[in-house]
């Protein structure tokens, strides 16, 4: 069972006409008023902390939007650079082919010119005057091949220049691409860090708000339930005065279970927020599957699941006071059943579920259970 910390915040403790029932009601009312004022201060402090968390959330979300936009822009530039790299590679491949082709042509014409010049020189010395037309034709052929050789040479130089240009362009684009990839990796890492920060701010705030809201709702619902039970009890039972009941039972009730108190009555530090919340009862850590006993004789007026209290039992002790037992594993009694002092009424669970939540309420005003229980 997911355990929600039962730190109940009650904001209307003074709506009950107990002044006529107790001689020291003024001092009790003053104490309750001070408690309420402290609670209001704690609530105001919590609101300030919540506002700070909201501002931090907005700031982180704004930074996340900027980082996300930056990543999108860089990814767009990366696509463009990748396209330019492919274009440069294609142009470099074409220039390389042109260079190879021009080089072959150049060497081909160079070899032919060399052979024809050699033949022309030999025949010119021997038979120039016998075949003047042949020598003129050979000379024209040599000049034509020189022209083609020069064309191939220029083509080779141009292709070589293009190769250098496109290779440099490719290197430049690759360098820019690497820089952009490093930048996008940095931004993604920063985005991950901001998302983690957002989880620890927004998530912590939301969870704390949900816990406190659930606890407030549970406390209000429990108080409303006990109000109804008290009204029903008044019609058939005489209510003993608060002073006499307190005097009779102070440090006189048996413990509902043996164990150690892990949550005190009254003001407690909230585990997630830097503020205090009020607990109307105590929590007792006991052994696994421990038996829960009624602290006094009375009538079981409620059994069952009740919000964040989990499985719960409420016992009306002759209209004098109510005892509340929450976070139970198994309930052993039923509504309307009369129980004696020390009677077995429930069992706890095991592990984290072996903790009892225990309250004592008199005229629906929560009392410190430790003042009612026997001193250990």
Q: Could you give the CA distance from residue 133 to residue 147 in angstroms, rounded to a whole number?
A: 21
SS3 68: helix
Is the distance from CB of 321 to CB of 361 less than 8 angstroms? yes
Q: Could you give the CA distance from residue 99 to residue 94 in angstroms, rounded to a whole number?
A: 9
| Range 62-200 has CATH code 1.10.287 | yes
pLDDT of residue 248: 59
CB contact burial 37-49 (16+ within 10 A = b; e otherwise): eebeebbeebeee
370 Rama sector, left if φ>0, alpha if ψ -120 to 50, beta otherwise: alpha
Q: Could you give the CA distance from residue 10 to residue 158 in angstroms, rounded to a whole number?
A: 90
pLDDT digits (tens, 9 = 90+) for 156-169: 888 888 888 888 98
Any idea which fold 239-376 has? Glucose Permease (Domain IIA) (2.70.70)
Q: Could you give the CA distance from residue 252 to residue 295 in angstroms, rounded to a whole number?
A: 9
Q: Could you give the CA distance from residue 263 to residue 231 in angstroms, rounded to a whole number?
A: 30
0.85 surpassed by pTM: no
Lowest mean pLDDT among 122-126, 254-258, 356-360: 122-126
Residue spans per domain, the chain:
62-200, 239-376
Lowest mean pLDDT among 47-56, 252-261, 287-296: 47-56
- Could you tell me the CA-to-CA distances from 282 to 7, 46, 265 in Å, in that order? 9, 23, 5
pLDDT digits (tens, 9 = 90+) for 291-318: 999 999 999 999 999 887 899 999 999 8
90: CB partners within 8 A, 6+ apart: none
Lowest mean pLDDT among 6-15, 190-199, 222-231, 244-253: 6-15
């Amino acid at each position: 069972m997911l355990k929600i910390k039962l730190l109940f915040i009650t904001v209307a403790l003074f709506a009950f006409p107990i002044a006529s029932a107790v001689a020291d009601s003024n001092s009790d009312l003053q104490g309750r008023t001070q408690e309420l004022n402290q609670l209001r201060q704690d609530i105001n402090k919590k609101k300030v902390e919540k506002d700070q968390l909201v501002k931090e959330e907005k700031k982180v979300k704004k930074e996340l939007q900027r980082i996300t936009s930056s990543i999108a822009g860089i990814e767009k530039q990366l696509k463009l650079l990748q396209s330019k790299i492919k274009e440069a590679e294609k142009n470099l491949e074409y220039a390389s082919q042109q260079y190879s082709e021009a080089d072959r042509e150049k060497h081909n014409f160079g070899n032919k010119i060399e052979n024809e010049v050699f033949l022309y020189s030999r025949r010119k010395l021997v038979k120039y005057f016998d075949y003047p037309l042949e020598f003129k034709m050979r000379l024209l052929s040599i000049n034509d091949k020189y022209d083609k050789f020069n064309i191939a040479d220029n083509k080779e130089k141009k292709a070589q220049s293009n190769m250098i240009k496109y290779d440099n362009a490719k290197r430049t684009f690759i360098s820019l691409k690497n820089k952009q990839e490093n930048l996008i990796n940095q931004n993604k890492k920063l985005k991950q860090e901001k998302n983690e920060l957002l989880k620890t701010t927004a998530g912590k705030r939301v969870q704390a708000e949900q816990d406190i809201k659930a606890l407030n709702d549970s406390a209000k619902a429990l108080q409303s339930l006990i109000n109804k039970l008290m009204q029903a009890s008044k019609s058939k039972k005489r209510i003993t005065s608060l002073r006499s009941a307190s005097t009779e039972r102070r440090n006189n009730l048996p413990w509902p279970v043996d164990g150690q108190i892990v949550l005190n009555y009254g003001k407690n530090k909230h585990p997630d927020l830097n503020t205090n919340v009020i607990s109307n009862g105590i929590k007792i850590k006991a052994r696994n599957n421990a038996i829960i006993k009624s602290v006094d004789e009375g009538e079981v007026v409620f059994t069952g699941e009740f919000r964040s209290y989990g499985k719960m039992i409420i016992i009306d002790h002759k209209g004098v006071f109510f005892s509340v037992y929450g976070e139970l594993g198994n309930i052993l009694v039923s509504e309307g059943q009369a129980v004696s002092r020390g009677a077995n009424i429930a069992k706890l669970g095991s592990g984290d579920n072996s903790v009892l939540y225990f309250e004592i309420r008199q005229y629906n005003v929560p009392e410190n259970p430790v003042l009612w229980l026997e001193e250990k």
